[in-house]
Structure formats: C-alpha cells, structure tokens
Amino acid sequence: MIKLMEKFQKREWFSSKSNMNEKNTKHILSIMVDNEPGVLARVVGLFSGRGYNIESLSVSEVDSHKFLSRITIVTSGTKLIVDQIKAQLGKLIPVHNLVDISELNSFIGKELILIKLNVKDVVKFELKEKLKKFGAEILLESNSEFIVQYAGTPEEITKLVKLLKNTKIIEQTRSGLVSMATGTDYIKK
C-alpha cells in the first residue's frame, strides 16, 4: 500500500507527462452527484458548452440508498480554467461534493483495460508467461483468442499495450480513470 501511494504522489505522476504549454496541468475531479436522469448530461454539457477538455470520464452509482453516483473526470487546463471548471460544477444543483484529487497529497488512480488478442499463430505459453509476469489476467482463453484484463495506472496500461505490440490486438476497451485519495475524511455525503 505504501509503495502504491508513493507511486501516485502527484508530482511524479504529472511531471512525467510534460505538456507543451507549461501552465496546462492535468486534474482529476471526483464529483458526487444525485443519480437522476440527466445528471451526466448536465456535467458533460457544461464541459462541451464552455469548451473545456475531458480526457477521460467514468461514472457509476456508488450509494444505492442515497441514490448517489460518483463521476471521475480527468481534465486539463491552466489554473484559471480549472478553477473555473470547479466553480461551474459547484453551481450544478445535483452536484453534492467536488474534490480535485490531484491537488491532494496522495491518491490512487487506476484504470481497467480489456484486450482481445488473436493468438492463432502465437506460442501460447510464452505469451501467458509474459502476461503473468506483468500481472495481467487472462479471462477467456480459446485456440484463436485471449481476452486479457489488467488494472493499473494509465502509464502501466500503455506499457502493457507496448509489450503486446508483436501480438495481434483485435480490440481493446478502457474504463477511464477512477481515483481515490488516501485518508479517512475527505469525500462526504
């Protein structure tokens, strides 16, 4: 756990992705919203309507008693723009709480990827070994295909895809980042 936390200290995580414009930084916004029709449209519409950037988005219900959903949005912009995004989101009525996770001292950010590989002309045990070493799991295995699951940071996922560059990837799908800060007291309601 401690190792993980170190890995996701924000500086390290962000400095590796240097942007062309120095002032543009990446932010992970975690938003607690009422799980009601149209709430995602309100959030996404705000981004498109005002010309803000969405790099990834994931959303699902997290509290079925209080009907709460949690949205994680990765966005980027200058400090002025990101502050504006946060202020605008804060004005939406169904938004309960909003945390800029990337501004906290330590947090975890993970993404899930599913990859379907064409394994017809591949030495299967070598590939299996490779995947096992990386920590990826094979969910489905047949003569012609593997479906591989892996959860990790966006960088690790890119590494995995690179590792498989000599194998035929039929298709892949990614969940978008989900993120959580460490500590016991920060996202309420």
Partner 1 sequence: MKKITGAKIVIESLIQENVKVIFGYPGGAVLPIYDELFKQKKIRHILVRHEQAAVHAAEGYARSTGKVGVVLVTSGPGATNTVTGLTDAMMDSVPVVCLSGQVPTHMIGNDAFQEADIVGITRPCTKHNYLVKDVTKLAGAIHSAFFIAKNGRPGPVLVDIPKDIQTFKTRYEGKKLTKKISYYKPTFEPLKDEVDKVVEFLSNCKKPIFYIGGGVINSGIKASKELLELMKKTGFPCTQTLMGLGAFPMSDKQFLGMLGMHGTYEANMAMYNCDLMICVGARFDDRITGKVSGFSPNSKKIHFDIDASSFNKSVNVDLTVKGDLFRILKLINEKISKKNLLFKKSKYIEWWKQIEKWRSRNCLKYKQSKKVIKPQYALQRLNELTKKLNPFITTEVGQHQMWAAQFIEFNKPKHWMTSGGLGTMGYGLPAALGVQIAHPKDLVIDVAGEASILMNIQEMSTIKQYRLPVKVFILNNNYMGMVRQWQELLHGNRLSESYMESLPDFVKLAESFGATGLRVEKPDEVDDLIKEMIKIKGAVICDIVVDPTENCFPMIPSGSTHNQMLLGPNDKVDGEISEEGMVLV
Applying CB under 8 A, the residues found at the interface with partner 1 are: 34, 36-38, 41-42, 45-46, 49, 80, 83-84, 87-88, 90-94, 96, 189
| Closer to partner 1 by Cβ: residue 34 or 100 | 34
| Closer to partner 1 by Cβ: residue 84 or 182 | 84
Residue with tokens 């990834």: 56
Angle between helices 124-134 and 154-163 (to 10 degrees): 160
Residue 21 Cβ vs partner 1, minimum distance, rounded to whole Å: 17
| Closer to partner 1 by Cβ: residue 85 or 115 | 85
* Cβ atoms of 149 and 136 closer than 8 Å: yes
Residue 106 Cβ vs partner 1, minimum distance, rounded to whole Å: 27
Closest CA to 14 of 30, 25, 3: 25
* Cβ atoms of 163 and 134 closer than 8 Å: yes
| Closer to partner 1 by Cβ: residue 38 or 135 | 38
Residue 85 Cβ vs partner 1, minimum distance, rounded to whole Å: 9
DSSP state, 29?
E
| Closer to partner 1 by Cβ: residue 40 or 163 | 40
DSSP sequence for 78-89: -HHHHHHHHHHH
Residue 77 Cβ vs partner 1, minimum distance, rounded to whole Å: 13
* Cβ atoms of 58 and 44 closer than 8 Å: no
| Closer to partner 1 by Cβ: residue 92 or 138 | 92
Residue 80 Cβ vs partner 1, minimum distance, rounded to whole Å: 6
* Cβ atoms of 113 and 174 closer than 8 Å: yes
Residue 108 Cβ vs partner 1, minimum distance, rounded to whole Å: 27
Dihedral of the CA atoms 20, 22, 23, 24 (nearest 10)?
40
The whole-angstrom separation of Cα 125 and Cα 122 is 9
